[in-house]
Amino acid sequence: MDIEVSLWFSEHHDKVLNIFFSLLSLLGEGMFIWIILLLIVLYNKKEWFYLKIIPFMCIGGWLIVDLLIKNLVRRERPYVQLNLEAIGYLIPHSYSFPSGHSFSSFLAATILTYLKPKYSILFYLLAFLIALSRVYCLVHFTSDVIVGAILGILWGLLTILIMKKVFQKELWYNNLAKRGKENVK
C-alpha cells in the first residue's frame, strides 16, 4: 500500500497543492509552529512551569525517533526508493521511518489538547495536515507518518503523565512552604 499511495500522489501533484503542502511541511520543521502555539497557549497562565518538562521530553523523543529508530530501520525515503521527484523547500536526506514531523506534530497536538481541550480539533487537524504533507511531498511513506503519529501521541501522553506528577509534587512543596511560613508567624 505504501508504494501505491506514493505513486498516486506523484501522479496527482498540482502547482497550488505543491505550494500548500510544502508550506505545511515547512511549518512542521523544527517544531516551529508548535513552539509558537505552545507559547500562545501558556501566555499569562499558571502552566508556565510545564516548560521545565516539555523541552526535555521533546528532545528525548527526537533522540529516540530521529537518531535511534531511523538509524535502526534505515528505510529509504519514497522519492529515493521509487526514483521520484520530491516536493518542498527542504528535502530531507536522512532515513524515512518513522516520520519525525508526524511524531513532533502529534506529540505537540496531544500536549496542547491537554492544556487547551476546547481547541483539540484544530491541534489534531494541523498535525494531520503536516503528516499528510510529508506523504504528498514524497518524503515519507504512509506507514512512516502513521507510526510517527502513534509514537507522538504515546510520547505526548507520557509527557502529560510526567507533567502531572511534577505538578503534584510542586503543589505539595508549595503548600508545605506556605504552612511553614504561617507557623512562623
Whether residue 98 is preceded by a cis peptide bond, meaning omega within 30 degrees of 0, is yes
111: cell is: 500536549
**DSSP state letter for 12:** S
Of residues 41 and 22, the one with the higher pLDDT is: 22
Beta-carbon count within 10 A of 137 CB: 27
185 pLDDT tier (thresholds 50, 70, 90): low
Is the pLDDT higher at 44 or at 149?
149
pLDDT for 51 beyond 70: no
User: Rounded distance, CA 45 to CA 54, Å?
Assistant: 15
What confidence tens digit (pLDDT) does each residue in 70-108 have?
889 898 888 887 777 777 777 778 888 899 889 988 998
DSSP state of 141: -
- Cβ proximity of 88 and 25 under 8 Å: yes
Domains, in order of start, for the chain: 2-177 (1.20.144)
Q: How many CB atoms lie within 10 A of CB 112?
A: 24
Omega prior to 78 cis, within 30 of 0 = no
Q: What pLDDT sits at residue 38? A: 73
Nearest to residue 79, comparing CAs of 142, 139, 19, 8? 139
Instruction: Give the whole-angstrom CA distance, residue 28 versus residue 9.
Output: 20
Q: How confident is the model at residue 179 (pLDDT cuts 50, 70, 90)?
A: low
Alpha helices, DSSP H only, in the chain?
2-11, 15-27, 32-42, 54-62, 70-73, 78-81, 100-115, 120-136, 142-184
Tell me the average pLDDT of the chain.
Answer: 81
Closest C-alpha among 46, 168, 163 to residue 107:
163
66's grid cell: 530521529
CA Rg, the chain, in Å? Answer: 20
